């Protein structure tokens, strides 16, 4: 099964380049008219007055390298097929189209294909009279005995430093020297849970055992140095940091936290935290990321790069650029907690007594507690069988507070608000929140001087606004709305209870539900069964009328 979003495999790179050009925020990129097979993206504001910087390689590492083309970084990027070096001709045409008298520097990741193709293109360009130098990035430290360390994410840092030098008008020799200084100061190491999905190919999902990660997996999915028996963020970062700090250098560093393509922003934030809290954290003067800078398609992995800083490298990393793929370097922020008010601090009420209010609360709560089993059995037919327990839990909490003289019984507006708070906390699920909305709004309305009937009606309107249900949707609203309408009309409690009963009865003939868990059931499951919430409302008003 394909795990890659595309039209046709043979067109995916060209179509991706077109998408990148259409979406560049600085409108400063173009593609050389060299046909579909030679893919060279260049600055369209380039005047050849400064040293040109060219990089590139196989596609699949986006935003590298197109995302780094622009003022302050690369002059051109040469794109091969996915994970395949661009051709010698493509690199050569990039050189001859962007290089002026100041010359050109090729920045190449240390892979055989890139070394050979960029190297031969450089030789051909020199034969045509162009000044060309080449540096190779070798920042991967995962395989310490490898005589040819790979170029990985640290390449982006080298692009940034070299781009700064070129933008300052330095000579080709000076730009090349600073680029080499950046290379020598940079180390990177990565870790991944899985390799990546290459278009049209089946991924080996069994290479890394479940629950493990691979240290040093390459940016094309090449085997790494070892398998770690962990996917824990702290343990993983600790292993990478141990490798990066092995030489014991204590000078300030720039840290780049790079997403290899498949980690979420949430995970990357956790990794940044772990790294800054690690043994390396105290050395970090500049932070780049977390960001996807040099990816490996959708590889679920990340890499850490560190550059040993001196004043010139620090200045270079902080210089502004006009590219789409770079993440500006910053000094790590300091954690601060801003003093905050709590909702409890804003609420002030004193317990008070009111015999009539206490009696009403006792009637309502005892009724709901007594209905627990009946409502659960009813709900089992049309829901998840817990309506009775949910209402009973809220009722017990309110009743206990009343009997302990903890409620402002003589302050109706405060009482409604406190009841709303308790229901939201104790009842859980959507029922508790909806009831809390109704009581909280009603309390606010009472405080503004409206009648209890008007306040409850306003609360019901807010409940419907946030909950989305209306009369006819087969919910408790089918009983609440007619009951509150009767209260608003000045009817006595007997009439109010009758209205609630009629509304509740209507739910048993409704063939579909527009809200709540019953909305997932077919009409045969609902036919003849009263909505449990509406039934609870009916029974409460009946109890109040019978006092």
Rounded to whole angstroms, how far apart are CA atoms 310 and 313?
5
User: Hey, what are 172's tokens?
Assistant: 């080709």
CB-based contacts of 318: which residues, under 8 Å, 6+ apart?
A: 286, 329
Environment class of residue 471 by beta-carbon count within 10 Å: exposed (0-12), middle (13-18) or buried (19+)? middle
Least Cα distance to 118 among 128, 127, 109 occurs for 109
Whether the link from the prior residue into 542 is cis, omega within 30° of 0, is no
Rounded to whole angstroms, how far apart are CA atoms 118 and 95?
10
Rounded to whole angstroms, how far apart are CA atoms 329 and 96?
32
Please state the φ and ψ torsions of residue 474, each to the nearest 5 degrees.
70, 55
Q: What angle do CA 115, 119, 120 make, to 5 degrees?
A: 125
Q: Around 500, how many Cα atoms within 13 Å sit in the side-chain half-sphere? A: 26
What is the DSSP secondary-structure string of 5-71? --S-GGGHHHHHHHHHHHH-TT--EEE-SS-SS-EEEEETT--SSS-EEEEEEEESSTTTTGGGBST
Beta bridge partners of 157: none
Cα end-to-end distance, the chain, whole Å: 68
CB-based contacts of 147: which residues, under 8 Å, 6+ apart?
A: none
Beta bridge partners of 387: none
Rg, the chain, Cα only: 34
CB-based contacts of 186: which residues, under 8 Å, 6+ apart?
A: 137, 139, 154, 157, 158, 305, 306, 307, 308
Whether the link from the prior residue into 473 is cis, omega within 30° of 0, is no
Q: What's CA 390's distance to the chain center, in Å?
A: 33
Catalytic residue among 65, 159, 197, 220: 220
Rounded to whole angstroms, how far apart are CA atoms 469 and 461?
10
Rounded to whole angstroms, how far apart are CA atoms 512 and 260?
49
Q: What's CA 502's distance to the chain center, in Å?
A: 48
Rounded to whole angstroms, how far apart are CA atoms 259 and 289?
9
Is the Cα torsion angle 79, 85, 90, 96 positive or negative in sign?
Answer: positive
Beta bridge partners of 53: 105
User: Hey, what are 146's tokens?
Assistant: 């490898």
What Å distances lie between residue 10 and 7, 14, 82, 199, 272, CA to CA?
A: 9, 9, 10, 10, 37
For residue 220, indicate whether it is catalytic: yes
User: Hey, what are 340's tokens?
Assistant: 């905050």
Which residues are catalytically annotated?
A: 220
């Amino acid at each position: 099964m394909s795990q890659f979003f595309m039209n046709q495999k043979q067109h995916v790179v060209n179509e991706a380049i077109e998408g990148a050009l259409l979406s560049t925020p600085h409108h400063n990129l173009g593609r050389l008219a060299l046909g579909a097979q030679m893919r060279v993206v260049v600055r369209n504001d380039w005047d050849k007055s400064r040293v040109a910087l060219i990089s590139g390689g196989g596609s699949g590492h986006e935003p590298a390298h197109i995302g780094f083309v622009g003022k302050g970084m690369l002059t051109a990027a040469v794109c091969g097929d996915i994970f395949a070096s661009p051709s010698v001709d493509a690199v050569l045409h990039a050189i001859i189209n962007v290089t002026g008298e100041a010359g050109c520097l090729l920045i190449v990741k240390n892979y055989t294909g890139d070394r050979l193709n960029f190297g031969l293109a450089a030789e051909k360009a020199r034969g045509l009279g162009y000044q060309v130098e080449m540096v190779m990035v070798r920042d991967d430290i995962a395989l310490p005995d490898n005589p040819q360390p790979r170029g990985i994410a640290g390449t982006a840092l080298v692009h940034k430093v070299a781009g700064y030098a070129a933008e300052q008008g330095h000579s080709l020799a000076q730009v090349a020297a600073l680029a080499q200084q950046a290379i020598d100061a940079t180390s990177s190491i990565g870790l991944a849970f899985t390799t990546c999905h290459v278009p049209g190919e089946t991924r080996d999902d069994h290479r890394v055992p479940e629950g493990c990660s691979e240290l040093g997996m390459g940016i094309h999915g090449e085997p790494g140095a070892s398998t770690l028996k962990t996917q824990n963020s702290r343990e993983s970062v600790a292993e990478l940091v141990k490798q990066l700090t092995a030489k014991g250098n204590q000078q300030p560093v720039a840290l780049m936290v790079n997403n290899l393509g498949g980690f979420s922003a949430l995970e990357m934030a956790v990794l940044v935290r772990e790294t800054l809290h690690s043994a390396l954290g105290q050395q970090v003067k500049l932070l780049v990321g977390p960001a996807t800078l040099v990816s490996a398609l959708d590889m679920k992995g990340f890499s850490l790069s560190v550059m040993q800083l001196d004043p010139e490298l620090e200045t270079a990393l902080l210089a502004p650029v006009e590219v789409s793929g770079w993440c500006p370097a910053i000094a790590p922020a300091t954690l601060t907690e801003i003093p905050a008010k709590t909702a409890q601090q804003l609420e002030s009420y004193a317990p008070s007594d009111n015999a009539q209010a206490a009696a009403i609360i006792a009637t309502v709560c005892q009724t709901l507690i007594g209905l627990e089993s009946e409502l659960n059995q009813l709900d089992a037919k049309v829901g998840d069988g817990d309506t009775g327990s949910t209402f009973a839990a809220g009722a017990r909490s309110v009743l206990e507070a009343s009997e302990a003289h903890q409620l402002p019984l003589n302050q109706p507006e405060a009482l409604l608000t406190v009841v709303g708070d308790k229901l939201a906390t104790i009842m859980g699920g959507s029922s508790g929140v909806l009831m809390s909305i109704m009581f909280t709004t009603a309390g606010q309305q009472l405080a503004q001087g409206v009648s209890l009937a008007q306040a409850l009606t306003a609360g019901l309107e807010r409940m419907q606004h946030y909950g989305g249900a209306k009369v006819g949707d087969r919910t408790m609203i089918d009983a609440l709305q007619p009951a509150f309408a009767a209260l608003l009309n000045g009817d006595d409690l007997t009439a109010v209870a009758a209205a609630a009963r009629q509304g509740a009865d209507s739910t048993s003939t409704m063939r579909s539900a527009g809200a709540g868990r019953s909305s997932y059931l077919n009409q045969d499951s609902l036919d003849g069964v009263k909505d449990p919430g509406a039934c609870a409302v009916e029974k409460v008003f009946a109890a109040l009328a019978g006092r």
